[in-house]
Amino acid sequence: MNKPQSVDLVIHGGTIVSDTHQFAASVAIDNGLIVAVGADHTMPAATERFDASGLHLLPGAIDVHVHFRDPGYDYKETWESGTAAAAMGGTTTVFEMPNTHPPTADPAAVADKLERAHSNAYVDFGVYGLLAENNVDQLEALAEAGVIGYKCFMGNTFGNLPSPSTGAMLEAFERIAPLGLRTSLHAETASIMAWRYERLKAAQRNDALAHVAARPSVVAVEAVARAAILSEWSGARIHVLHVSSGAELRPMAEAKARGVDITAETCPHYLRFNTDDYARLGSVIRVNPPVREAHDSDALWRGLADGTLDMIATDHAPHLPEEKHNDVIWDADCGFPGVETQMSLMLDSVNAGQLSLCDYVRISSVAPARAWGLHPAKGRIGVGADADIALVDMARAETIDQNMLHSVNARISPFHGMRVTGVPVHTLVGGRFVMRDRRLVAEARGQGRNVKRIQNMPAADVRNADRTLAAELARAPGAAS
Ligand code: DOR
Ligand code: ZN
């Protein structure tokens, strides 16, 4: 790329962080792209020169797991409020989940959601299509309509979308495999949970920990192992959402060792909380899958360090405060906002020595960019990449205050009151400030773009193509040859 004579913006004085290095350099940005990285005296003239002394420049976080509730539940969250929260949290790309109303299960629903996103988003976005029992014949059309990948609820959660049978899942995987797209799994087995829930409820176990009792980690272990087997058979790429237990790491590691194209995330709440926090937080901490034992958190940290877990995401799941508070745990909505607090919580853990800043860049940006084919346009601060940058102050301390969240209708957080050191202070998306000096830039609304435009998944590795249901149906007597 030729360096232009004069550019839109030069950021100088900061330290650039990649997944392997940290180095002092200036960054030149023009037309939304990074056009130069290097010593300040080599930078072109610029309309604006921005002093980032004392700050670290990270590639913006890519959160592959947010629920923005729009359409259908926009009293909880909207594309405007959800992406404002992302911008304020240093997150520059979000992938949004299909358990809206209507669910994102056909091309018309995708088109409707993309329109809402385009008119309101502060940050870049991708939209998941639903993989369910009753829309297996829509999967190719969803890809055409522009989904970034699929979401399959193996266990039910908010929205109560019925989980597909293993038979429907296998056919879906067979159809998705040649498309090369990744399917993200809510990997908890519905039938085990329903069985335990009925019995616990009938016995009037209504305490907060009864939620954990209904969904012990075997629920997730069984689902991860089963999904990995279907993925291995078909060649469909999968991603395990919100890994919550140490026990899931074994089927994850085994599947990776067998060459399954499987990735996984965990979330800050599984790293930060454990069953000791239920007494204090009550139903506010209710989330699917549940926060588990202290030994699970320890194992998840190890999984992030050794690569069994690839990335951090938030499962940003806003609900109204009155929907979260309930003495009967079964009647409290599951989940809470997370996209605005993820980076501060993780940077605080960097400061505490749990991981390095380079590790954080790997799990928050590089790994998701690679897994969904957005690299090299995203996930790095380098020439030719989108200028999506979180400028963070590693020395700044703040107390997380739920009343300040930009998820304005869902100001309830289990992280409320936690003191964190390490805060994003400015966020750029496509070269534009969306947060500046810890304030949202209102004019940036509606400027976010669909990342489908840059998605470039590696070629698919389809397996057992001659044994798929479609192949067998083609051998039926009446089938056209
Ligand atoms: O607790 C949860 N809430 N877990 C999920 O997987 C979905 C989410 C929601 O949509 O509320
Ligand atoms: Zn979720």
Whether residue 159 is predicted with pLDDT greater than 90 in this model: the reply is no
Q: Whose CA is nearest to atom 5 of ligand 1?
A: 288
Please give the pLDDT value at position 5: 82
Ligand nearest 317 Cα, by number?
A: 1
Residue 180 Cα to ligand 1 middle (Å): 26
Q: Is 390 helix (H, G, I), strand (E, B) or coil?
A: strand
Is residue 357 within 8 A of residue 22, CB to CB? The reply is: yes
User: Best of 212, 334, 413 to mutate for ligand 1, by most ligand atoms within 8 A of CB?
Assistant: 334
For domain 61-375+445-453, the CATH architecture is Alpha-Beta Barrel (3.20)
Whether residue 111 is predicted with pLDDT greater than 80 in this model: the reply is yes
What's the distance, Cα to Cα, between the start and end of the chain in Å? 51
Residue 50 Cα to ligand 1 middle (Å): 39
Q: Does domain 6-54 have CATH number 1.10.10.60?
A: no
Whether residue 289 is predicted with pLDDT greater than 60 in this model: the reply is yes
Using the structure block, give the residue that is written with the tokens 């899958």: 289
Pull the structure tokens for residue 399. Answer: 């107390």
Residue 155 Cα to ligand 2 middle (Å): 11
**What mean pLDDT comes out for the span 152-157?**
92
Is residue 329 within 8 A of residue 207, CB to CB? The reply is: yes
User: Best of 152, 269, 287 to mutate for ligand 1, by most ligand atoms within 8 A of CB?
Assistant: 287
Number of Cβ within a 10 Å radius of residue 295: 12
Residue 342 Cα to ligand 2 middle (Å): 15
Using the structure block, give the residue that is written with the tokens 């790997």: 362
Question: How do residues 185-215 score in pLDDT, each as one tens digit?
Answer: 999 999 999 999 999 999 999 999 999 999 9
Residue 242 Cα to ligand 2 middle (Å): 8
Residue 97 Cα to ligand 2 middle (Å): 7
Number of helices (H) and strands (E), helices first, in the chain? Answer: 16, 19
Reported in sequence order, the residue ranges of 67-208 that DSSP labels E, i.e. its strands, are 91-96, 124-130, 149-153, 182-186
**C-alpha closest to that of 130 among 92, 102, 166, 170:** 102
List ligand 1's pocket residues with C-beta within 6 A. 67, 99, 157-158, 186, 287-288, 315, 317, 334-335
Domain boundaries, the chain: 6-54, 61-375+445-453
Is residue 159 within 8 A of residue 99, CB to CB? The reply is: yes
Residues 6 or more apart whose Cβ sits within 8 Å of residue 285: 208, 269, 273, 277, 278, 291, 414
Number of Cβ within a 10 Å radius of residue 204: 9
Question: How do residues 360-413 score in pLDDT, each as one tens digit?
Answer: 999 999 999 999 999 999 999 999 999 999 999 999 999 999 999 999 999 999
Ligand nearest 151 Cα, by number?
A: 2
Over pLDDT 70: what percentage of the chain? Answer: 99
Question: For residues 161 and 34, what is the distance between their CA atoms, to the nearest angstrom?
Answer: 42
Which ligand 1 atom minimizes the distance to the CA of 242? 6
Task: Determine the angle formed by the axes of helices 217-234 and 190-202, rounding to 10 degrees.
Answer: 160
Whether residue 273 is predicted with pLDDT greater than 70 in this model: the reply is yes
Which ligand 1 atom minimizes the distance to the CA of 319? 11
Q: Is 193 helix (H, G, I), strand (E, B) or coil?
A: helix
Please give the pLDDT value at position 481: 61
Q: What are phi and psi of 423, to 5 degrees?
A: -140, 135
Residue 302 Cα to ligand 2 middle (Å): 23
Whether residue 246 is predicted with pLDDT greater than 60 in this model: the reply is yes
User: Best of 65, 66, 67 to mutate for ligand 1, by most ligand atoms within 8 A of CB?
Assistant: 67
Question: How do residues 324-365 score in pLDDT, each as one tens digit?
Answer: 999 999 999 999 999 999 999 999 999 999 999 999 999 999
Residue 22 Cα to ligand 1 middle (Å): 36
Pull the structure tokens for residue 470. Answer: 């479609």
Which ligand 1 atom minimizes the distance to the CA of 186? 6
In the DSSP assignment, the letter for residue 363 is I
**What mean pLDDT comes out for the span 296-314?**
98
Please give the pLDDT value at position 156: 82
Ligand nearest 315 Cα, by number?
A: 2
